[in-house]
Structure 1
Amino acid sequence: MDFVKHIFATIIGVLVTFVIIFVVFLVFIGALVQQSTSQSAAIVPDNSVLYMSLDHEIVEKTESNPFGDLNIPGYGASKSIGLNDILKRIQAAKEDDNIKGIYLNPSTINVGFASLKEIRDALVDFKTSKKFIVAYSEMYSQKAYYLASVADKIYVNPEGAIDFRGLSSSVVFMKDALDKLGVEMQVVKVGTYKSAVEPFLLNEMSSANREQVTSYLNSIYASFLTDIAEGRKISTDSLDRIADAFLVRNAEDAVKYKFVDAKLYKDELLDEIKDRLKVEKDKDISAVSLLTYSPKEKENSSKNKIAVLYAYGNIVDGEGTTGDIGGDKLSRQLRKLRKDDDIKAVVLRVNSPGGSALASDIIWREVELTRKVKPVMVSMGDYAASGGYYIAAAADSIFAEKGTLTGSIGVFGMIPNFKGLLNDKLGIHIDEVSTGKFSNLMSDMDRPMTAEERSIVQLEVDRIYNTFMKRVADGRKISVQRVDSIGQGRVWTGNQALELGLVDKIGNVQRAVQAAAYKAKLADYAIVELPEKEDPFSSILSTSKEKIKTWLFAEELGDYQKYIYDIRNALQHTGMQARIPYTIEIY
């Protein structure tokens, strides 16, 4: 009996100790967060420059990240910033008398072309203040050079390089790998171009898919060249010829073809900036990083408010997590905005490749109801395709960037068959008892679907596709036949979508806000961004296991992590999906 008591007391002691250690850990983290937060607001001295590298993670909207300033040995820091804050800080720097210019130091920028265009446009607007922008890098990626092309002067390290070869888009195909594993992906779809399933069925692009990728890639490339041509005063034909022959590879080539203004070492670049600031050579430059620049926001006490509601990530059923669009969660937010009399208009910012067809329809319904009460505008980010377009279709007006990937109006169902893996390779067999002929439809994973079962699933996919087309037809005031002709799962750029009538204007989120204000007849209004940031302590408690694993292993996986995540996410998305063909990487 004493032995049992001793064991019990030991267990209780261990549990109490664990709880105490956990609480102390949270207090410690909280103290670090509070300290980093209090130090994050950088004081900007007079005659300063804003430093922008953009080599950190760029997300759609800045999220609470209690670990962002913690540098853990072996893992580094996980700094990130939202596109929303990048744009606001560039605008604030334009109006900040203490900031005299921007030192742009880009190398690799991990963001889509639509978001990149918004940042570039903000820099173009910054130049109207007559303040300078100087760009310098040891190595410019194509996206980095696209951004740098807006600068007054572009410099490169004498031994540096510029990557300028034209754009390409790649897809990872897994058919042979699945065949070797004994896994068959049973696919039912609608849409000639609905290519989300191709990586599981083929080892290369279908002709239809290659056609659409070629089309939207050329559209993005045309805009890419046009903006660089305007910035550097080089014709688009010359740029295309230079890229096609890969004539610019090193710093010498860059000077020869007028891609940069000069070759400089870092000390020479700093002297150049000192001259612009009229700072003596032996003095330091006063610089503030975009990450820590925290300008005081202008207060607007107007009772009239325009809500900018961010919807980014995969569309999933239920609540979802940070980085996902939960159908129930976003619908609840829309209902709340609809009933709030202070909210006079809503701008839904969509950056999503799509996802659950059911969740998309649930969100669509709330957008439709809200539009009947107050203006609703949609601003599209890098992606607003398939389910992302579904939830946008009911808005009063849709704004997209030229490089936005949208459309992909189509539906597919994907049911894995693990018979070869389970039965033949692992020797695992499943037996069951059912009460009906179709009781185990889509749940029995160790056999192929019968012809009758496949016919039933196809009918459901067709029904959802017809509903999708009807939603678009009603929202865009065009016929279902017209939607079908430009649908079929095909992806379009914002430029192409404008010509087809799928979007109304080319423009960023600010243009959507201005349109919302005009429709609501507001001369004075305040902007409210939603969802609100979590406080740091809540963010710690809500940090998911998946997010922690991603954070810990991101450095080790490097560029390969995106392929692993693509495969994992694709295998998770079974059932009826309204989703863009795949994660599109453009280099």
Structure 2
Amino acid sequence: MKQFWVTFFGSIFGVIVGSVVTMVLGVFLIAGLIASAAQSSDPAPVIPSANVVLSLDLREARNDQPSRSPFAFADPLSTVDLVRALERAEGDSRVSGLFIRANEYGLPPAQAEEIHRAIAAFRASGRFVIVHAQGFEGTSATNYFAVSGADEIWLQDTATFSASGLYGEVPFFGGLLERFEGRAEFIQFEDYKNAPNSYTEAGFTDEHREATLGYFTGIFDTIIETAATDRGQTPEAMRALIEDAPYSAEQALEAGLVDQLGQVVDARQAALDRAGARQLTDIYDYASSALMHQSGPIIALIEGQGAIVTGNAPPGLFGGDEMIGSDLMSESILNAARDPNVRAIVLRIDSPGGSSIASDQVWDAVRRAREAGKPVVVSMGGAAASGGYYIAAPADYIVSNATTITGSIGVYGGKINLHDTLGLVGVNIEPISVGGDFTDAYSGQTDWTDAQRAELESLLGDIYADFTERVAEGRVIPIERVLEIARGRVWTGAQALELGLVDEIGGMREAVAAARSLADIEAGTPVNLRRYPARPTAFEAFQAMFGVTAESAETLAQLNALMEMPEVRAALEARGMTGRGNELRTPASQPN
């Protein structure tokens, strides 16, 4: 019987180990195939020598920045690279125009603004832009905002124009938690730090509603003023037109919101005819060619998108949601600051915030770069709020889109106690601990004691004091004024400019121009915008994911090379060991 159980459990263990080994080997095999594919030299896209009409599809969801994973599935061109490609096209004599498929349901406001600005600069260089929309079907006016400055806007004749404002929804779970005996405990600095309200309240507080309507109104005002200028209307007339939507296609044409009615094939042909071209050139293909070779003084581009966390925060194997790892970003900033070939640093931020500790680490790196004499310019993407603003504050110069969500200078902390909620379904989790009174402060099974709440208020108060002092120091604003405009309140970029929290309204283009100026590089001089760190190779990403050290990888490579030497293979064969392909068999392992 003993032998039976030994054999039984041994078999199970063998199956488990075999499955794990097979899975790991399969992952290695797949990764190897992907790496081989990534490293294969596909033919470079052929760009026509003249009359190029670039094509851009705004219906594709795009990130602010490209993924750091070399295995990421082909994403649409990031906002940053799209803007850079269009800027490069302005000086390319081969390029005549741009054909755009408009987004139908709405874009992130700052992304729409930055694309709009790039289109305007492209047109100002003497090139045309033709847009086709299969409807502005969503009520968010950001879809129209992105393309309102085109030479021609075509609308499919069976579509509608419904862009009429901005709309959002905020969930509140306070009533749900109360109904099921859950308790949310949070401490906020201060009254406008509204993120915890979703758990503590059943609806908007006065401050929450005021701040939300404040930035909604600011964004909508920017859209109206921009579209009015583009379409030759007064802001009052444009506001009335937008707010009176929806329109049929014919009504939108009569109102002057669009220029032509027709199918996409008609608009596409109009763009080709205007340039005398035969086919469109995808903006992705153009960017792959145009951004590959850069020359001139080096400006480091350091990018971060997503929540701010400690560590390196490597991306997923195939891309996906990314985070800003404080180790990686701070190291990148310091490396760029130490590089004598780097003239300035552009720090692109698209983040709603995150860990205060991680944010402070990046803040310190920016400060050290400045002290080393390296100019640092921040370019804000869709958001640079809370921790996102924390890391921007010490920069020499801050550039923000008018519709960027920024500010939120504040901090909060808390927890949700679900002990009684779980008890309703028969689950009892009994906490047990040794040590001081604070040991169970973060437990989801207990309420705070008065002493714990007091300690947390003190800790969070210290973080808030540090945050506001860092802002006062970096922006050279009296601390009293910072405390007035902080309080956790969110601002648009346009509002932040009035408050002195940013220096200029603009995007990547304006940030690079500011960096060029601070580095005493002559205006108009082409610069080499070099990413720090460089995107890892497929093998480097694989090493990082599976913990393979550079030394062990090198040893394996050397061993593989040794095994392939003719004299080694001859010696193995002489000993009865045969190598067939990638499979090595000893006499004992030969099949019967």
Q: TM-score w.r.t. structure 2 length?
A: 0.82
The residue aligned with 2:559 is: none
The residue aligned with 1:199 is: 198
Q: CA deviation at 1:133?
A: 0.9
2-side partners of 1:110 and 1:159: how far apart? 19
Q: CA deviation at 1:11?
A: 7.2
Other structure's SS at 1:354 match? coil
- RMSD, matched Cα: 2.7
The residue aligned with 1:534 is: 536
1:68–1:80 Cα contact (<8 Å) kept: no
Distance change in 2, residues 1:14/1:211 (3 Å): closer
The residue aligned with 2:53 is: 49
Q: CA deviation at 1:278?
A: 3.9
Q: Which moved more, 1:15-24 or 1:52-61?
A: 15-24
1:145–1:162 Cα contact (<8 Å) kept: no
Deviations 1:286-316 (A, max 9, x none): 11122332333485554x4221211221111
**Residue 84 of structure 1: which of 73, 80, 84 is its match?**
80
1:113–1:404 Cα contact (<8 Å) kept: yes
2-side partners of 1:476 and 1:183: how far apart? 42
After the TM superposition, which residues 158-557 of structure 1 pair with which residues of structure 2 at under 5 Å, given as runs?
158-246=157-245, 248-278=246-276, 285-293=278-286, 294-297=288-291, 299=293, 302=296, 304-322=297-315, 323-373=322-372, 374-442=374-442, 444-523=443-522, 525-539=527-541
2-side partners of 1:18 and 1:354: how far apart? 37
Q: CA deviation at 1:500?
A: 0.9
2-side partners of 1:405 and 1:431: how far apart? 40
2-side partners of 1:342 and 1:219: how far apart? 41
Runs (4+) off by over 6 Å? 8-13, 540-544
Q: In structure 2, what residue type is equivalent to 1:289?
A: D
The residue aligned with 1:94 is: 90
1-side partners of 2:461 and 2:96: how far apart? 58
2-side partners of 1:15 and 1:387: how far apart? 40
Q: In structure 2, what residue type is equivalent to 1:454?
A: R
Q: Which moved more, 1:322-331 or 1:518-527?
A: 518-527
Q: In structure 2, what residue type is equivalent to 1:167?
A: L
The residue aligned with 2:33 is: 28
Q: In structure 2, what residue type is equivalent to 1:423?
A: G
2-side partners of 1:157 and 1:178: how far apart? 48
1:226–1:236 Cα contact (<8 Å) kept: yes
Q: TM-score w.r.t. structure 1 length?
A: 0.83
Other structure's SS at 1:81 match? coil
Other structure's SS at 2:271 match? helix
Residue 144 in structure 1 maps to residue 146 in structure 2:
no
Deviations 1:334-391 (A, max 9, x none): 2222222222221211111111111111111111111111211211111111111111
1:190–1:462 Cα contact (<8 Å) kept: yes
List gaps (5 residues or longer) in structure 2: 316-321, 547-592
Q: In structure 1, what residue type is equivalent to 2:407?
A: G
The residue aligned with 1:105 is: 101
Distance change in 2, residues 1:230/1:543 (3 Å): farther
Q: CA deviation at 1:508?
A: 1.8
Deviations 1:181-236 (A, max 9, x none): 44322101111111011110112211111111112111111110111111111222
2:379–2:511 Cα contact (<8 Å) kept: yes
Q: In structure 2, what residue type is equivalent to 1:464?
A: I
2:64–2:78 Cα contact (<8 Å) kept: yes
Q: CA deviation at 1:88?
A: 1.8
2-side partners of 1:449 and 1:11: how far apart? 44
Deviations 1:55-77 (A, max 9, x none): 223112222566666xxxxxxxx
Q: CA deviation at 1:458?
A: 0.8
What fraction of aligned residue pairs are identical, expressed as a percent?
Answer: 29
Q: In structure 2, what residue type is equivalent to 1:286?
A: Q
Q: CA deviation at 1:40?
A: 6.5
The residue aligned with 1:576 is: none
Deviations 1:117-145 (A, max 9, x none): 11111111111232221111212243232
Q: In structure 2, what residue type is equivalent to 1:129?
A: S
Q: Which moved more, 1:288-297 or 1:5-14?
A: 5-14
1-side partners of 2:197 and 2:48: how far apart? 52
1-side partners of 2:268 and 2:125: how far apart? 22
Aligned length: 527
Q: CA deviation at 1:440?
A: 2.3
1:360–1:390 Cα contact (<8 Å) kept: yes
Q: CA deviation at 1:329?
A: 2.0
Other structure's SS at 1:355 match? coil
Distance change in 2, residues 1:400/1:15 (3 Å): closer
Q: CA deviation at 1:482?
A: 0.8
Q: CA deviation at 1:478?
A: 1.7
Other structure's SS at 2:62 match? strand
Q: CA deviation at 1:399?
A: 1.3
Q: CA deviation at 1:20?
A: 5.1
Deviations 1:528-565 (A, max 9, x none): 12232232455567689xxxxxxxxxxxxxxxxxxxxx
Q: In structure 2, what residue type is equivalent to 1:266?
A: V
Q: CA deviation at 1:425?
A: 3.3
1:46–1:97 Cα contact (<8 Å) kept: yes
Distance change in 2, residues 1:490/1:181 (3 Å): same
1:182–1:425 Cα contact (<8 Å) kept: no
**Residue 130 of structure 1: which of 126, 130, 138 is its match?**
126
Distance change in 2, residues 1:84/1:543 (3 Å): farther
2-side partners of 1:308 and 1:288: how far apart? 27
Q: In structure 2, what residue type is equivalent to 1:360?
A: S
Q: CA deviation at 1:15?
A: 6.2
Other structure's SS at 1:223 match? helix
Deviations 1:2-53 (A, max 9, x none): 9959958877776665555444433433344456x72573533643321111
2-side partners of 1:301 and 1:275: how far apart? 34
Other structure's SS at 1:133 match? strand
Distance change in 2, residues 1:191/1:34 (3 Å): same
2-side partners of 1:534 and 1:149: how far apart? 38
2-side partners of 1:366 and 1:20: how far apart? 40
Q: In structure 1, what residue type is equivalent to 2:100?
A: L
2-side partners of 1:19 and 1:300: how far apart? 40
> Structure with the greater relative contact order (CA < 8 A, sep ≥ 6): 1 or 2?
1
1-side partners of 2:346 and 2:303: how far apart? 8
Q: CA deviation at 1:109?
A: 6.8
2-side partners of 1:241 and 1:308: how far apart? 42
Q: In structure 1, what residue type is equivalent to 2:528?
A: A
1:191–1:411 Cα contact (<8 Å) kept: yes
